[in-house]
Amino acid sequence: MSGEGVNDPGGARAGGAVVLDTVAKTFPGTRSAPEQRVLEDFSLTVAHGELVAVVGASGTGKTTLLHLVAGLESPDRGSVRAGPPAGDGADSGAGPGARLGVVFQQPRLLDWLPVRTNVELALKAAGSPPAHALPALDAVGLADYADQYPSMLSGGQRQRAAVARAFAVDPDIVLLDEPFSALDELTGRRLRLLLQDLWSRASRAGLLVTHSPTEAVFLADRVIVLAGRPARIAAEHRVDLPRPRSPEDPALFDLHRRVVADLL
């Protein structure tokens, strides 16, 4: 499915795991940079159990969107709600009701602590048992590396550890900001397959910011294309393919072509 003007205030009011309702966000100008009117009257709903990929040209506001949901930025107007299925959400960003797992482009591990301790810290912060660290590392193939320091791991292994840290807390909402873009193509492909496997184990909501249309169509249930300033949803594609998906599925190539056409 593809269409214009699919910002959806009606859907936002109807509820969801992540609901941005008529959000405005402007970064004030400085002496060296003009004001950035990134979002205006922007609405988006991510349903429970849905993974939405956000693609778009550099600077359109994809990361800003993620930061608003994470509560790292506040909207100037409108509301951002992120909550667990029971609906115990917060008004701005992910509140105490929502368990959040975040994977950034860089693993952001604490280099002076073993991998296991890195995961344990995230668990403690979420009020979850630290004993969940080892199973989480096992799920990403790093059980044998639990007592190693991040500097002893490869880039792909470090990003696996970051994925383990995000999923260890059994998150209601997963936020992924270009999670595999710093990796070589084959390692990225392996991690996308791993993420698909982790995603299939429990029902969560997710937002994936990516520059890769391949990654977007492979992982997501819906791909939205952001464009313009302030950003609007210029197109939207539903990926109605059952999981597990194969990266070689010809249906993905067809969707990929359509997303690329929207980006050009």
Ligand X SMILES: Nc1ncnc2c1ncn2[C@@H]1O[C@H](COP(=O)(O)OP(=O)(O)OP(=O)(O)O)[C@@H](O)[C@H]1O
Q: Does 27 bind ligand X (CB under 6 A)?
A: yes
Amino acid at 32: S
Nearest CB to ligand X, comparing residues 61 and 150: 61
Q: Does 151 bind ligand X (CB under 6 A)?
A: no
Q: If you write DSSP's letter for every residue of 102-159 in order, what string do you get?
A: EE-SS----TTS-HHHHHHHHHHHTT--GGGHHHHHHHTT-GGGTTS-GGGS-HHHHH
Q: How far is CA 33 from CA 56, 59, 64, 73, 114, in A?
A: 22, 14, 17, 19, 41
Q: Does 135 bind ligand X (CB under 6 A)?
A: no
Q: How far is the CB of 56 from ligand X (least distance, A)?
A: 6
Q: Does 29 bind ligand X (CB under 6 A)?
A: no
Site mask for ligand X (CB under 6 A), range 40-79, x = bound: ----------------x-xxxxxxx---------------
Residue 217 has which token pair? 């169509």
Pairing of strands 222-227, 232-238: antiparallel
Nearest CB to ligand X, comparing residues 45 and 60: 60
Q: Does 16 bind ligand X (CB under 6 A)?
A: no
For ligand X, the binding residue among 2, 15, 22, 36 (CB under 6 A) is 36
Nearest CB to ligand X, comparing residues 33 and 86: 33
Contact 157, 142 (CB under 8 A): yes
For ligand X, the binding residue among 38, 176, 208, 219 (CB under 6 A) is 38
As a whole number of angstroms, the distance between CA 196 and CA 186 comes to 15
Q: How far is the CB of 181 from ligand X (least distance, A)?
A: 10
Nearest CB to ligand X, comparing residues 153 and 175: 175
Q: Does 196 bind ligand X (CB under 6 A)?
A: no
For binding to ligand X (CB under 6 A), which residues are involved? 27, 36, 38, 56, 58-64
